[in-house]
């Protein structure tokens, strides 16, 4: 099993640019979670999908953030326009139906200058 795959692993961009982070969940998993990790705020859940449908996006910080899951094997998190305070590590995690265990991807380290 390849595990959760995220790309890119590192992203450096200038303020105002659009950023798109990508995630491929573990095959067969039907729930996908996007988290953000910073020193100040720790690990925060941004949004999660169940069977490709967004269930809870209450953690999305503002309208500049959007997430999609067009199919069971792909999700994106987009930030437009990006700001320096968006600098963080963004993790994607997935879990199987009826199970509780969430498995994290390697993360994308985003730096906005």
Partner 1 sequence: GENVEQHPSTLSVQEGDSAVIKCTYSDSASNYFPWYKQELGKRPQLIIDIRSNVGEKKDQRIAVTLNKTAKHFSLHITETQPEDSAVYFCAASGANDYKLSFGAGTTVTVRA
CB of 91 to partner 1, least distance (A): 6
* Burial class (CB within 10 angstroms; exposed 0-12, middle 13-18, buried 19+) of 43: exposed
C-alpha–C-alpha distance, residues 94 and 4, integer Å: 7
CB of 43 to partner 1, least distance (A): 4
The smaller minimum CB distance to partner 1, of residues 74 and 103, is found at: 103
Matching residue, tokens 């450096």 = 12
Q: Pull the structure tokens for residue 5.
A: 């795959």
* CB nearer to partner 1: pick between 15 and 43: 43
Q: Distance between CA 78 and CA 17 in Å, rounded?
A: 11
Q: In the complex, which residues of this chain contact partner 1 (CB under 8 A)?
A: 31, 33, 42-45, 48, 50, 55-56, 91, 95, 100-107
Distance CA 21, CA 78 (A): 6
- Cβ proximity to partner 1, 52 vs 81, nearer residue: 52
Q: How near is the Cβ of 64 to partner 1 at its closest, in Å?
A: 22
Cβ proximity to partner 1, 13 vs 89, nearer residue: 89
Q: Which two tokens stand for residue 7?
A: 């790309």
**To the nearest whole angstrom, how small is the minimum distance from the Cβ of residue 112 to partner 1?**
19
Structure tokens at 54: 């967004």
């Amino acid at each position: 099993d390849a595990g959760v795959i995220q790309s890119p692993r590192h992203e450096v961009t200038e303020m105002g640019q659009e950023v798109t982070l990508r995630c491929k969940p573990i095959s067969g998993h039907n729930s996908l979670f996007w988290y953000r990790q910073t020193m100040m705020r720790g690990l925060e859940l941004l949004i999660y999908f169940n069977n490709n449908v967004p269930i809870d996006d209450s953690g999305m910080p503002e309208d500049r953030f959007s997430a999609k899951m067009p199919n069971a094997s792909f999700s994106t998190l987009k930030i437009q326009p990006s700001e320096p305070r968006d600098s963080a590590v963004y993790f994607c995690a997935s879990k199987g139906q009826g199970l509780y265990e969430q498995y994290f991807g390697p993360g994308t380290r985003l730096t906005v200058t």
